């Protein structure tokens, strides 16, 4: 469903901000010889991975982000170079890497470029980037309760409340809800809901501060919990999770979804909100670049397509997806 909302403005600005990162991905793909490898014909992710001696996951991240910025195209299940662009992107060609007004292009942010390259070569997150703490390798509290994100979550929550009718439900739990902004957005349209933000303890302070400023329903509470291990709040009839599944590999996602299924009464629902990759895995831009972010920051991360998530939800036992 497409909704005109404040989020449209936000997404447009976010897309512009992807520009510098897009150049870093292109510089990385050039440096690792992706386009030169594809000069003899389109290749599947497995073939790209084998030829570049990298794992499947980074091969997919690289191909998807390159497709999203239009420097690769999809030919059936294979990724291919884009026509005349080979002259600029394939080593040995006359105009190789001469595509800016000033000639050769490099990384916009060499530090970030090095992290992206290292993550692609090693299939491992680069500590110090994003929400991993350099010293401990654990997620950094400051990222999760960053106050501005609370207001963005409220906008997202409003979109969810426009897309789904919560009238007949009583209690909603936002798994990994951080500051609880989504619940604020949802509760503004459905003030009858009891709502719980279920997240790790380090998010408590940010959530309580954010909710104190923005929760007019007064029914949203924070509960400390680990969604892999702790009992989910009882009598919940809606489990909501936003940008949570993309942090985890298939087994961990299945664990969360199965635990939701087991905790729900008959007729209960689970809602997963994500920036979905399209089924061809060629974009859209924000999903592809969010996939890049979680890939080089989080250990198990994977940006999912709609059908991949549907498959997991169905395997967890849910019907009427």
Ligand X SMILES: C[S@@+](CC[C@H](N)C(=O)[O-])C[C@H]1O[C@@H](n2cnc3c(N)ncnc32)[C@H](O)[C@@H]1O
User: Which residue ranges make up the site for ligand X (CB under 6 A)?
Assistant: 139, 144, 149, 153, 176-178, 199-200, 203, 225-228, 242-244, 247
**Residue of 308, 200, 300 whose CA lies nearest to 257:** 308
From residue 267, give the alpha-carbon distance in Å to each of 9, 56, 238, 264.
Answer: 35, 38, 9, 8
Task: Look up residue 82 and give its two tokens.
Answer: 């884009």
Is 113 or 185 the residue whose CB approaches ligand X more closely? 185
β-bridge partners, 172: 195, 238
Pull the structure tokens for residue 39.
């000069």
Residue 8 parent element (H or E):
helix 6-31
Q: Locate 128 and state its tokens.
A: 């110090």
Spatial separation of the C-alpha atoms in residues 272 and 306, rounded to whole Å: 10
Which of 33, 77, 26 is CA-nearest to residue 51?
A: 33
CA distance linking residue 167 with residue 37, whole number of Å:
54
DSSP 8-state symbol, 140: P
> Is-contact 21 289, C-beta < 8 A?
yes
| Residue whose CB is less far from ligand X, 114 or 200 | 200
Q: Is the peptide bond prior to 129 cis by the omega test (within 30 degrees of 0)?
A: no
Residue nearest to ligand X (CB): 176
Closer Cβ to ligand X, 105 or 254, answer by number: 254
Q: How far is the CB of 57 from ligand X (least distance, A)?
A: 18
Nearest-approach distance from CB 321 to ligand X, in angstroms: 20
């Amino acid at each position: 469903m497409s909704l005109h909302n404040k989020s449209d403005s936000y997404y447009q600005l976010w897309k512009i901000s992807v520009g510098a990162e897009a150049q870093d991905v292109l510089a990385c793909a050039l440096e690792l010889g992706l386009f030169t490898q594809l000069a003899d014909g389109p290749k599947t992710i497995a073939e790209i991975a084998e030829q570049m001696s990298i794992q499947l996951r980074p091969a997919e991240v690289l191909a998807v982000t390159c497709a999203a910025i239009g420097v690769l195209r999809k030919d059936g299940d294979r990724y291919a170079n884009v026509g005349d662009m080979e002259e600029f992107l394939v080593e040995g060609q006359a105009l190789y890497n001469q595509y800016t007004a000033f000639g050769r292009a490099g990384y916009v942010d060499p530090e970030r470029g090095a992290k992206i390259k290292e993550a692609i070569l090693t299939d491992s997150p680069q500590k110090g980037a994003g929400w991993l703490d350099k010293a401990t390798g654990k997620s950094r509290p400051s990222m999760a309760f960053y106050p501005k994100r609370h207001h963005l979550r409220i906008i997202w929550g409003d979109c969810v409340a426009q897309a789904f009718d919560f009238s007949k439900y009583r209690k909603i739990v936002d798994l990994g809800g951080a500051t609880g902004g989504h619940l604020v957005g949802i509760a503004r349209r459905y003030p009858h809901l009891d709502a719980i933000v279920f997240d790790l303890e380090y998010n408590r302070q940010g959530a309580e501060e954010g909710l104190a400023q923005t929760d007019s329903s007064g029914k949203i509470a924070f509960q400390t919990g680990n969604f892999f291990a702790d009992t989910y709040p009882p009598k919940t009839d809606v489990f909501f999770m936003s940008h949570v599944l993309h942090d985890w590999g298939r087994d961990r996602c299945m664990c969360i979804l199965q635990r939701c299924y087991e905790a729900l009464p008959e007729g209960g629902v689970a809602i997963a909100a994500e920036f979905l990759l399209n089924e061809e895995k060629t974009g859209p831009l924000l999903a592809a670049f969010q996939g890049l972010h979680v890939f080089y920051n989080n250990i198990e991360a994977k940006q999912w397509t709609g059908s991949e998530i549907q498959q997991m939800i169905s395997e967890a036992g849910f019907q009427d997806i």
